[in-house]
Amino acid sequence: MDLGNTLAFLVFPYITLTIFTVGHISRYITDRYGWNAKSSEFLEKKSLFLAVTFFHWGMLLVLFGHASGLLIPQRFLDMVGINGETHTFIAHYNGMATGIVAFIGLALLLYRRIALPRIQRTTSHNDFITLGALLVVSATGLYNVMFGHYYMLDTIAPWIRGIVTFTPDPGLMLDVPLSYKIHIISALALLAFSPFSRLVHIWSVPLTYFSRCWIVFRRRALE
């Protein structure tokens, strides 16, 4: 048994997932008024629009790709005619396209927080850690997609499914390349940090917005 590997891919994931769950519950109970995205639109919206749109569309598609590509067992995909090779091909090009869009958006968001004085003055350490951590996770993910060329359906994919189904097997991670391990560890660390940041807004998707009644701001002048 490799102690470092067990700590990194058995103990650490469950510690981070526990902090993630308990942290969100406690933040929701104790800081409901602080539970939001802390929009900076009223301070500056020209560069925000492009940056935030690129980042969110890219990131949401990246997350969707991770969930569908890693959590669905390959035997189910085989049943619908998607074999391991096709799966890897789709994951590679889909990950590259969506990852690049998210990364550009993220770089613009960070630039905006450093370069625009009024945005910089209202940016906290927590905001910088959030954007910096997202940048590390995105950059290592993009590096793996572009240069990794590692077949993960027999190692990383069953390992993550083992974690979420409470049947962990850290041995699957022993021979995974270092750059993939850094990506996974940094993503887990970000998960543990997220309940204490503005990232809590992810869990408050305003779905009712699409079905709510019109809000009348001004009456039409009566004729």
**Sites of contact with ligand HEM (CB under 6 A):** 37, 39-41, 48, 52, 56, 59-60, 63, 109, 113, 130-131, 134, 198-199, 201-202, 205
SS (H, E, C) the chain: CCHHHHHHHHHHHHHHHHHHHHHHHHHHHHCHHHCCCCCCCCCCCHHHHHHHHHHHHHHHHHHHHHHHHHHCCHHHHHHCCCCHHHHHHHHHHHHHHHHHHHHHHHHHHHHHHHHCHHHHHCCCHHHHHHHHHHHHHHHHHHHHHHHHCCCCCCCHHHHHHHHHCCCCCHHHHCCCCHHHHHHHHHHHHHHHHHHHCHHHHHHCCCHHHHCCCCCCCCCCCCC
Q: How far is the CB of 125 from ligand HEM (least distance, A)?
A: 13
User: Closer to ligand HEM at the Cβ: 24 or 201?
Assistant: 201
Question: Which C-beta is closer to ligand HEM: that of 80 or that of 215?
Answer: 215
User: Whole-number minimum distance, CB 41 to ligand HEM, in Å?
Assistant: 4
For ligand HEM, the nearest residue by Cβ is 39
Smallest gap from residue 128 Cβ to ligand HEM (A)? 9
Nearer to ligand HEM, 131 or 156 (CB): 131
Choice between 72 and 199, CB closer to ligand HEM:
199
Q: Shortest distance, CB of residue 173 to ligand HEM, whole angstroms? A: 23
